[in-house]
Chain A
Amino acid sequence: MASQQGKWREEQILVICPGSHTTMAQLGCSELTPPANRIPTRMFKDEESNEYRPFRTYKRKKADATEGTNGSKDGGEDEWEWVEDRDSVEGAVYPIEGGRIVNMEAFLAFLDHVHSLLTTTYHNTPIVLMASPQWTRPDCESVARYIFEKTKTPALCLLHSAVATQYGLKWPSMTVVDIGFEKVDVTCIYDNLIVSHKDLGFPTPVREISGGEVFTQKLWALLKDKGFTYDMAEQLKKSPICEVLPYAADSDDLMELPTENIPLTAVQPAAAPVLPSGEGPKIVEPPKPAPVAEGENENEAVDDREEGVLDVANIVTSGNTREFLAKREKEKAEKAKSKKQGKGQEAEPAGAKPTRLPNSKRKHNIFHYEDLVHEDVEVPLSNGTAQAEPAVPTNSDAPASDAPAPEGTANPDEMKIESKPEVSGETNGENPAPATESTKTRTERRTKRVRKDIEVGLERFLFADRGEINRITDTIYRTIQSIDDIYKRSTCWDNIVFVGNGSRLRGLKENIIQTLSARHMISPSTATIFTSELPSNMATPTGTGSQTPTGSFTGQLPTTSSVNPLLQAATTASLGVPGSAQAPGSTSGDVGVSHHSHGQTPMSIKQAALPTYLAEWTKNGFEEAMFLGSLVAARLAFCIHNFDAAGTEAQRLMSLNRVDYNENGPKAIRTHSMMG
């Protein structure tokens, strides 16, 4: 059987990472690139054949028939045609919900769709399929059976998503926090073995979703009365102006909301949908009435006035006086600088102003919303000759001269900021001008790209729901703390990795780490130094450096920075656990010593370092590291030759090939897979 392995070429391997929302897939793993295809994980049920289709299809009157049918309703079947609408989600079936396969039939149809989309040949395309931890054993068996019976796949490698992440990031021990669309999985891996797992978003028995969608919903709820739609909220969430502020331990809201109202000046006075800043959102604790500023002069006046007033009580109670004053100074300096600039070049400040302050310090910011509007418009048909009649009733803003040549006129990239709806070149209509001579108009599906500028206030910070973040942090804490062997915990605390596109939300990862540190970090105690003499083995630090606290260690832990490093070394060592003193700072010490320690955890909480040698992935972000890992696993399982005996055996158990399938049936997937 060993000869079966390693005979595939890297270009032949199909890698599929299904998600509840989007599926990443690619044919070939020769280049470790970000996924070539992102396919929405949804199917549409066809009422007639009861089969699943990848796109919504609906009946529509044929365009060339519209004319003739005005009076008579005959024509029958010929008048109707089936149209595929690639963007519509109406009636969509989502086969995966929160990581679980809720509709196996649709899921298998979806797999088939992905397979046929990407592969041309039927043979010699082994598949790597990433599986969520929520997939049950019978699920995996059904998938294996389907793949082997329906496709000609020679081999299938099922891969646990946390293991896939690990393959992508190469650390032997890590805690993988996968923040997905409607679920959060926390999986602890120690020494390449899964030692603990918990998930949020599983129905227990009612489903309480967790993950990226929760934040969107929250944002939407906050902005609903401002006329936001779900899509707008989703886009706002993904925009850079929406972020989770750093965890502020001292403040009541646990975040430092910007309080100074820096007016947006008159950046876009002409932009129609911009909310006047006076009607800005209600702030939780407005320090001063929000001044409305329209021009540069007023702006300065406001700034000056604000500089004069210091809310001393607020500063003192908040406790970080020095920090505040430093900030103040900096701000003053910046203002002075920008004033100078502003006077010199009056024309530019509109562009320069918004970048002056980081988003997190601004109370309001402008969100550029792009909407795609589909509509069926009557388009006059032209054979090159311009027609006088303006037959674009719904598209009044578009210049009439655009109308005769709708194909490829407006390039979306050239759009101006102003909210001018324009017609982009896409035509989804299925009639490629067959009736040019007979008809004057035809119905055309057009996609307009409308761009609006909307001013958003503090909602863009307030949506960071503490309840949801607490759920995630609690789950991380409990997952790591419920690892059976205590000595494994500190390693898992030191290598936390956030994946899943839900974690792309700006500031979320940092906030989670900060929350965990502020809430759970065990600081070295002063108890031991006063109550017991130092153990003898601490007298001389050994040459390994393992007991010498390194600078990076004390620097990264705000809570321990006040503690004397020697004291810390002494206390942790006197627990009889030299290993735990070594673990956080350096990786050089021997790990064996730290076994069977019973110290409390976490003594340090860190995110694992991400690889830097893959430039494309650094750009893409390692939120999709599981895909990278799947590519790596694909190579290992299918392409590497010349293992020793043990390696060959391990490789054989990584995937299930057709010979083994024929011999053992779908049940063989239990052992021939990487499901952890």
Chain B
Amino acid sequence: MASQQPLPNTQIPLDVYGGDEVSALVLDAGYCHTRAGFAGEDVPKSVLPSFYGHLKSTNSDTSTTTYRDIFGDECLNPRADFEIKNYMSRTESVVEDWDAATKIWEHMLIKRLQPDRETHPSKNGLNDPPEDGEGDVAMEDVENQEKPLAENPLLMTEAPWNAGKAREKAIEIVMENWGCPAFWLSRTPVCAAFAAGKASALVIDVGGANTTVTAVHDGMILKRSIQKAPVGGLWLSQQIRTMWENNDPKIDVIPTYMVENKTPVDAGAPAQAKLRKFPFEIAPSFRTYEEERLLTEFKESVVEVWRGPGRYANPGNEDLVKTQPGRVFEMPDGSNQMWREQRYRVSEGMWDETAALPLPDGSKVQTIPELIKAALNAVDVDLRPNLLGNVVVTGGTSLLNGFNDRLNNELATIYPGVKIKLHAAGLTTERRFGSWIGGSILASLGTFHQMWISRKEYEENGAGIVEKRCK
């Protein structure tokens, strides 16, 4: 639709790729959350858990069973025959289930961020529950109409160790299914460094499933420096579970959804709560997901990192903590207890291997100082001072109270005499969405438009182009 009034040349909007005006989209997928939004904005418009609901419905007439996936935190409520799944791989933080990934991404990028199309799925009959098959809906939709993202270049982030096959798969989906005019894959540490305004940095990303330490130099990751360990939010949750397990009295994890109402009780007293009854069975995966909400709250309001100097296990520290007031945490069922020294102890495993509570499978994880040491040892000696002067801390778990103080202390101990400077965003959202924000900055830069892999290039070279271009 051309505008009705002719505009003077100077006033015609500049629709150039990569120009500030282009509606580029940015997608950042993590194990816990997936973030999507428009480039140039400072927060992602759409943040969904990477966990999604898998609903089984049995058709009584034909005795066929169909499955339906639902996305978004709002709909993850107790239901019959309802499983919670995740499309990402917990150990690797890369896409594991591509079918689900495509669907959840489409849900976010197209449903949430783009206007409804004429043949909207809710009207074209494809979405009537009985017929709603697995995965066909979106595909047919796409084929029968103009591609949904034909006007939006897309920048996607990926873990630095992402496999070539997965990268090719990503560009295929973007180009074939959605018809994007341009595409770019960027590594999360690079984006996080950009978000902090750095081209060279040591990026410490303490996320949900993994903690990664990566050296970034001039906007490129140094491959050999990449270190990763599961010491992240979920690992900490596991530590808390172990602590609750060994607590006296032992604490049963009753997630919020099970509680109908509660009565206040004294500290340490047994809970007096009325539990909700469900006329169906709750899948264990759903319960685990809900327990994680509770653990998140515990981490937010109770857990603290021993700030140092030195380790928490050093003599005297625990006695000092015991003299200080603790924090009370009330469980959803109303039982409550004071946490004092335990709240430091539970996070100490991130720094001190011997302090970590034993996991059920007996495995040990690398601590954050070890990861940093390993990462720095793998880079050129000359680069190390520069990297240590530009340490970027990002990821939701780094929001733990006292985390940065401790990290600073640890680094000062390992590298005495080197100037160490931490860059951690003050705003919670900037810390949680660090790599998305970096991607948003990158994709909105006018100069970035030479970088995009255009549709034409893809058509000429095939999916392999992504390996050649996005180093």
Contact A249 B261 (CB under 8 A): yes
Contact size range, B: 35 or more
Is B218 engaged at the interface, CB distance under 8 Å to the other chain?
no
User: Which chain B residues lie closer than 8 Å to A575 at the CB level?
Assistant: 325, 327-328
Residue of chain B at shortest CB distance from A575: B327
B260 and A104 contacting across the interface, CB-CB below 8 Å? no
A501 within 8 A of B: no
A474 with B432, Cβ < 8 A, contacts A136-B114, A527-B267 known: no
Closest to B72 in A: A204
Selected from A198, A519, A531, the residue in CB contact (under 8 A) with B261 is A519
Q: Does B71 contact A (CB under 8 A)?
A: yes
The answer to whether B129 and A527 have CB atoms under 8 Å apart is no
Nearest CB on A from B460, distance (A): 30
Question: What 0/1 pattern do residues 506 to 545 of A give for CB contact below 8 A with B?
Answer: 0000000001001110110111101110010000000000
Q: B260 to A254, Cβ gap below 8 A?
A: yes
Give A82 to B71 CA distance when docked, in angstroms. 47
When distances are taken between beta carbons in the complex, the residues of chain A under 8 Å from B7 are: 662
Q: How large is the interface on A (under 10, 10 to 19, 20 to 34, 35 or more residues)?
A: 35 or more
Query: B121 contacts which of A205, A208, A520, A665 (Cβ < 8 Å)?
Result: A205
| Residues of B contacting A249 in the complex (Cβ-Cβ under 8 angstroms) | 260-261, 274
Closest to A530 in B: B267
Tell whether, in the assembled complex, residue B264 and residue A562 are in contact, meaning their CB atoms are under 8 Å apart: yes
Cross-chain contact B330 with A518 (CB below 8 angstroms): no
Q: Which one of A18-26, A405-413, A479-487 is at the interface?
A: A479-487
Complex contacts, B177 vs chain A, CB 8 Å:
none
Contacts of A519 in B (CB 8 A): 256, 259-262, 332
Enumerate chain B residues within 8 angstroms of A254, measured Cβ to Cβ.
260
Other-chain residue from A139, A145, A598 in contact with B300 (beta carbon distance below 8 A): A598
Determine the residue in chain B with the shortest Cβ distance to A665: B13
Q: B326 at the A/B interface (Cβ < 8 Å)?
A: yes
Determine whether the beta carbon of B328 is less than 8 Å from that of A527: yes
- Which chain B residues border A204 with CB–CB below 8 Å? 70-72, 74-75, 107
- Assembled-state Cα–Cα distance A24/B208 (Å): 45
A560 to B334, CA, bound (A): 12
Residues of B within 8 A of A526 (CB): 266-267
Known: A485-B428, A575-B327, A600-B329. Is A206-B115 also a contact (CB below 8 A)? no
Q: Which of A141-161 contact B (CB under 8 A)?
A: 142, 145, 149
Q: Is the CB of A103 within 8 A of B127?
A: no
Q: Quick check: B115 and A104 within 8 Å, CB to CB?
A: yes
Q: Find chain A residues with CB under 8 A from B127 CB.
A: 203, 205-206
Chain A 86-104 interface residues, beta-carbon cutoff 8 Å to B? 97, 100-104
How far, in angstroms, from A474 to B76 measured CA to CA in the complex?
A: 10
The reply to whether A527 and B264 contact each other, CB–CB distance below 8 Å, is no
- B428 and A207 contacting across the interface, CB-CB below 8 Å: no
Tell me if B137 counts as interface (CB < 8 A to partner A): yes
Shortest Cβ distance from A138 into B: residue: B115
Is there a chain B Cβ closer than 8 Å to A475's Cβ?
Answer: yes
Contact across chains for B260 and A486 when beta carbons are under 8 A apart = no
Q: Is the CB of B21 closer than 8 A to any CB of chain A?
A: yes
Residue from A137, A203, A208 having most chain B Cβ neighbours under 10 A = A203
Considering the chains assembled together, what is the distance between the CA atoms of A526 and B338 in angstroms? 9
A149 to B1, CA, bound (A): 11
| Neighbouring B residues of A474 by C-beta, 8 Å | 77, 257
In the bound complex, do residue A528 and residue B325 qualify as a contact, i.e. CB atoms below 8 Å apart?
A: yes
Residues of chain A lying within 8 A (CB to CB) of residue B260: 249, 254, 518-519
A477 to B290, CA, bound (A): 13
Does B122 lie at the interface of the complex (its beta carbon under 8 Å from any beta carbon of A)?
yes
A663 contacts the other chain (CB 8 A) = yes
Q: Which residue of B lies closest to A486 (CB)?
A: B300
Distance to closest chain A CB from B329 (angstroms): 6
Q: Which of A350-406 contact B (CB under 8 A)?
A: none
B326 and A528 within 8 A (CB)? yes
CB-based contact A598/B401 at 8 Å? yes
* CB pair B114 A138 closer than 8 Å: yes
CB of B429 closer than 8 Å to a CB of A: yes
Which B residue's beta carbon lies closest to that of A103? B116
Please measure, in the bound complex, the distance between the C-alpha atom of A47 and the C-alpha atom of B19, giving whole angstroms.
43
Q: Mark B365-404, 1 if CB is under 8 A from A, else 0.
A: 0000000000000000000000000000000000001000
B4 and A149: CB pair below 8 A?
Answer: yes
Contact at B274–A206, with CB atoms within 8 Å?
A: no
The answer to whether B421 has its CB under 8 Å from any CB of chain A is no
The docked-state distance in angstroms from the alpha carbon of A347 to that of B320 is 82
Q: Once the chains bind, are A598 and B114 in contact (CB under 8 Å)? A: no
A239 within 8 A of B: no
What per-residue 1/0 map shows which CB atoms of B310-346 lie under 8 Å from chain A?
Answer: 0000000000000001111110101011101000000
Q: Bound state CA distance, A375 and B113, in angstroms?
A: 46
Q: Is the CB of A137 within 8 A of B113?
A: yes
B38 and A206: CB pair below 8 A? no
- Roughly how many angstroms separate A522 CA and B127 CA in the complex, as a whole number? 42
A102 to B111, CA, bound (A): 11
Are B336 and A527 in contact (CB-based, < 8 A)?
yes
Judge if A202 is at the interface, Cβ distance under 8 Å.
yes
Please tell me if B358 contacts chain A, counting CB pairs below 8 Å.
no
| In the complex, chain B residues whose CB is within 8 Å of the CB of A145 | 1, 3
Contact partner of A205 (CB less than 8 A), chosen from B73, B111, B326, is B111
Q: Is B68 an interface residue (CB 8 A)?
A: yes
**Chain B CB within 8 A of A316 CB:** no
> A166 on the interface (CB 8 Å rule)?
no
Are the CB atoms of A560 and B70 closer together than 8 Å?
no
Q: Quick check: B338 and A528 within 8 Å, CB to CB?
A: yes
A335 located at the interface, meaning its Cβ lies under 8 Å from any Cβ of chain B in the complex: no
Map CB proximity to B onto A245-258 as digits: 1 under 8 Å, 0 otherwise. Answer: 00001100010000
Q: Mark B258-302, 1 if CB is under 8 A from A, else 0.
A: 011111101110000010000000000000000000000100111
Query: With contacts A519-B261, A562-B264 known, is A664 near B328, CB below 8 A?
Result: no
| B234 CB to nearest chain A CB (Å) | 18
Q: Are A532 and B325 in contact (CB under 8 A)?
A: yes
What CA separation (Å) do A663 and B297 show in the bound complex? Answer: 48
Q: Shortest beta-carbon distance, B328 to chain A, in Å?
A: 4
B113: nearest residue on chain A (CB-CB)? A136
Partner of B297, one of A471, A481, A535: A481
A154 to B73, CA, bound (A): 41
Complexed CA–CA distance, A471 and B76 (Å): 10
Asked if B337 and A527 sit within 8 Å, CB to CB, the answer is yes
Interface presence of B11 (CB below 8 A): yes
Cβ-based interface call for A623 (8 A):
no
B116 touches A523 (CB 8 A): no
Residues of B78-123 at the interface with A, using a CB-CB cut-off of 8 Å, are 103, 107, 111-116, 120-123
Known A207-B122, A518-B261; contact A199-B326, beta-carbon cutoff 8 A: no
Q: How far is the CA of A198 from the CA of B334 in the complex (A)?
A: 26
C-alpha gap A575/B302 in the complex (Å): 10
Contact B325 A560 (CB under 8 A): no
Q: Which residue of A lies closest to B336 (CB)?
A: A525
Q: Are A532 and B73 in contact (CB under 8 A)?
A: no
CB within 8 Å for A600 and B132 given contacts A149-B3, A484-B429: no
Q: Does B63 contact A (CB under 8 A)?
A: no
Q: Is the CB of A525 within 8 A of B338?
A: yes
- By beta carbon, the residue of chain B nearest A571 is B328
Interface check B5, CB cutoff 8 A: yes
Q: Are A205 and B137 in contact (CB under 8 A)?
A: yes
Interface: A464 (CB within 8 A): no
22 A-B pairs with C-beta separation under 8 A: A97-B122, A102-B116, A138-B23, A145-B3, A203-B127, A204-B74, A206-B129, A250-B274, A520-B332, A523-B330, A527-B267, A527-B326, A527-B337, A560-B264, A598-B301, A598-B302, A599-B301, A599-B327, A600-B328, A600-B329, A662-B7, A667-B21
Mark A residues whose CB is within 8 Å of B.
97, 100-104, 136-139, 142, 145, 149, 198-200, 202-208, 249-250, 254, 470-471, 474-475, 477-478, 481-482, 484-486, 515, 518-520, 522-523, 525-528, 530-532, 535, 559-560, 562-563, 571, 574-576, 598-600, 662-665, 667
Closest CB pairs A-B (n = 8): A527-B267, A523-B264, A518-B261, A484-B428, A527-B338, A525-B328, A665-B13, A249-B261
Using A204-B71, A563-B264 as known contacts, list a sample of 4 further A-B pairs with CB atoms less than 8 Å apart, ordered by residue number in A.
A145-B3, A204-B75, A470-B77, A598-B301
